[in-house]
Amino acid sequence: MVALKMVYVMGVCLLLLFAGGTSVSGSTLAYSQQVRKISGIVKNTQGEPVIGANILEKGTSNGTITDINGLFTLRVSPNAVIKVSYIGYTEQEIAIGNRNRLDIVMTEDTRLIDEVVVVGYGKQKKATVTGSIAQVSGTELKQSPAANLSNSLVGRLPGVIANNRSGEPGNDYSEIYIRGKGSLGDNSPLYVIDGVANRGGIERLNPSDIESLTILKDASAAIYGAQAANGVILITTKRGSDSKPVITYEGNFGLSEHTRTPDLMNAYQYMVYDDEINAHFGRTQKYKDIKNGYLDGTIDPLQYANTDWMDVMFKAAPQTQHSLSVRGGNDRVKYYMSGGYLYQEPGFKHTNLNFQTAQLRSNLDASITKDFTVTLELAMRQENRHNSNYDSGTFFWEGFHAYPFLPAYYPNGLPGPGLSWGNNLAILTSGKTGYDKIKDTFINSKMAFDLKMPWILHGMYLSGYAAFDSHFRSEKKLMDMWDAYRYNPATKDYDNIRSTTGDGNINLTQQFDDGHTTTLHLKLGYEKRFAEHSINAFIAYEQSKTKGDWFSAYRRDFLSDAVDYMFAGSDNLKDNNGSGSISARQNFFGRLSYGYKDRYLAEFTLRRDGSQNFSSDSRWGWFPGLSVGWRISEEKFFKDNIPQVDELKLKASWGKLGNDRVDPFQYVSTYDMSDGAAFGRDPQRQKGFTIGRVANPDITWEKVTTKNIGFESILFKQKLSFDLQYFYSMRKDILTPKQASIPDYTGLTLPDQNIGKISNQGIEASISYRNKFKELGYYVGGNLTYAHNKIHFFDEAANVPDWQRRTGHSIDSWLVYKTDGIYQTQQEIDASPHLMNTQPGDIKYLDVDGDGSITSNDRVRIYESATPEIVYGINMGGTWKGFELNVLWTGQARAKQMIRPGSYNRDVTYFNNRWISATETPNARYPRAFERDDTFNSINSDFWLKDASFIRLKNIELAYNLPASFLKKMSISTLRLYVSGFNLFSIDHIKIQDPEGTNAGGMYYPQQRIYNVGVNISF
């Protein structure tokens, strides 16, 4: 209802525009003397009024629109036929006959519900879009209970490759690539929020504020010029409507747990494994007499515990998210205001660590006159990270390296010593070792206007905005000392090792960082329809400037953590530092779109960009884009012969895009501040400068030529849709070092040069089927993306063997030794090239170059990486009465992960499946017991390279909408209750860690599985 009411005002404006700004009356229409008045109401299939529906007498310009109650009146000629239309509903033609009163019921048109899509600097009808664009609604994104919005994109849009590498609160974003990678440098897309670029990513936006999210993937992104090479993501937030205030509360609560938690060896297994390592090398077996005590129960628990460090660390963790909004307005002022709050805890036991986000948003639109509208937007967000002074990587390092026979707590409750320096994980994860408090504050503001100028030319308008964005970060990190104990069997006492904990002193570091961006934009446009012709054109100017400052200070030797302020530290080894940054861009651009009968379509964009990152001689560039489309389904011969096809559009595009995301000021030589040297009769050290980077005055941006061809189709009365796209891009002038031409022994470092060249190509496909059987509505669909890149040049050394070359292959790859199982006997070893001192139970490496020995030259390239070349999503669900079910599966293929143990303790699967002897375990999956620095089995090889393909139940949501008749008694508009799950399970080849993780040893914060319940209620 809110969305319908919002369109009501738009309908009024359009009617006035086409009617020349005058009201419709009998004196202005060519009617006969027998004109009569009719009235009626327009409702949808749920009985709700359709506000702003167009009522037009066929063959005339005589018409009106329905009011806020769905009512209309109209004077028509005898025997008139009226046309009733509204976005999202099937158009109807109704013969009046002798009736004076009409009750009209409109049915939804599934093709037109998503009719308008957001594009760069504007909106277009979906039917007339010629570029490769994908859009998802905020409603769909909210089906995911993921706290980080970037994780909600996965599997929902073709062309989007997204991988989540960590589940740590505050750091749980997905890496997002549009159509894969195409550069040796920055491959991240450009984010544009409410028309303003470079406002950061989407990770922490309130999902309840999102109206839609659009991806520009081909020449449609050329309108963003030098920042468009990696694709563009457009986020549009909700706005007000012409309706009474609608108050909406959305809240949910969830529990998160690891998708996979490392299952490490217990104390007995660890001792057996370690003794086997020592026995293999002829060393003393340290635990020979101790390990049996675990079996017969005679072990002293004060000296030898049996600790599962993963269990010590982890538990299920709570998260909750809330949003409260009000939306409404009238024909003069429309408003949308909201507040959101997110709270997450890491999955640590007895911890005081957490991550919180609070945000406010206000979007106001005011019509000063019928032709002049002003807009004020304000968004504020604060992110508070209460982290440990140790990062999560340290926790996992300690967890994998701490002996499992060390106690977390002694029987008397005192905490154990940890592996060293008192780093007991039970203490580290609690937050008692200090803290790292980070506060990020974002303030985005925008003032805009839109002026229609019919007194100059109907369809002409002038619009513009000024946006002021700020980001303030403060970080305060305290390194504390704490109590940990080591049992002394000689004295029977527990020795406090506090003096060895932390850095051996209490110290404090504080940092302050602030950045400010000002963006100015002015656009002159023209939009008009002439019978069968439509024109949409604009020219625009835009500039942006960003300035930043950073400062830090450090003091140590605090007497206590109770006074954690700089003045309380000593002058001993105190330090401070600071720096600044600046960047600027200036752009001129425009677009011309033309359509004939909405059948033959063409669009041309052109942008001239200037970037401060480059010298004045290389600063400016042209970025054109061209796309065409043919709605062949609108041709008479097609309609008459293939009525099963409702919509078929062929389209193609070509464009030039740029990427200026490189380190700034590489076109000038730099100097680094150093401690200098001692000078004078009484020598004192004086600061000085040393030569830093050598200048490259010719540096410029990467340039991408992109091509796209495809089709969109809708069949069988809007039940089935199918899209297919092929894309190809060639990126040149990639900034990369020319190091292969200079031997390492020279010690020279050349500046980066624009010499790289990479192509990228692939296909995208999506299919969707919707239907209804009585009261059961259902849908099923899917999308698939294949993207393959190829390096054409990047200055690779000429003496690199063919089997190790990157040129001619993918950007990312693995350089590994090739293997052939595990040696079983000494005879096998003697009969083949091998590493010196190889013994049975070691991995067998192949002599690839045939020189009779195993050297680095025998490594080969495996042209797959952690970034998949194939991703897909499968969505399905249905509605029945008030129930809804939404299910999303996601998957990937052609990806490989290096899963190699690299620590003292390791997953129990390596213990259970290790090689022991040729007779006992001839078919062992893993080599003999080995340590992390083992030169035989710990090196990167295809033995440890695992297929990272998977299919995952990414999201499932079951909801119930209470009946309107029941809610009406309580003055409630809608009430929706739901349960949902995220990352519930996956089917894959990697069992010891999540297939999306990239750390070879599994020492990272795992991805999260979330169970969630929530409610949406509107008044």
- In this predicted structure, the answer to whether residue 5 has a pLDDT above a threshold of 70 is no
In this prediction, residues 477-500 reach a mean pLDDT of: 96
Q: Count other C-beta atoms under 10 Å from residue 325's C-beta.
A: 20
pLDDT band at 201 (very low <50, low <70, confident <90, very high): confident
Contacts of 452 (CB under 8 A, 6+ apart): 371, 372, 460, 461
**pTM for the predicted model, two decimal places:** 0.87
Residue 108: the pLDDT is: 66
Residue 978: the pLDDT is: 97
Contacts of 466 (CB under 8 A, 6+ apart): 446, 447, 448, 518, 519, 520, 521
Question: What type of residue is 1000?
Answer: A
Q: Where are the alpha helices (DSSP H) in 733-877?
A: 826-830
Residue 249: the pLDDT is: 97
Return the bridge partners of 515, or none: 471, 548
Rounded distance between C-alpha atoms, residue 575 and residue 1011, angstroms: 46
- pLDDT one-digit tens code per residue, 718-748: 899 999 999 999 999 998 888 776 666 665 6
Return the bridge partners of 459, or none: none
pLDDT band at 109 (very low <50, low <70, confident <90, very high): low
Contacts of 934 (CB under 8 A, 6+ apart): none
- pLDDT one-digit tens code per residue, 825-878: 999 999 999 999 999 999 999 999 999 999 999 999 999 999 999 999 999 999
Residue 255: the pLDDT is: 97
For 428, list phi and psi in degrees, rounded to 5: -55, -45
Angle at 18 between CA 13 and CA 24, to 5 degrees: 85
Q: Count other C-beta atoms under 10 Å from residue 965's C-beta.
A: 8
Out of 451-465, 675-689, 928-942, 999-1013, least confident range: 675-689
pLDDT band at 798 (very low <50, low <70, confident <90, very high): confident
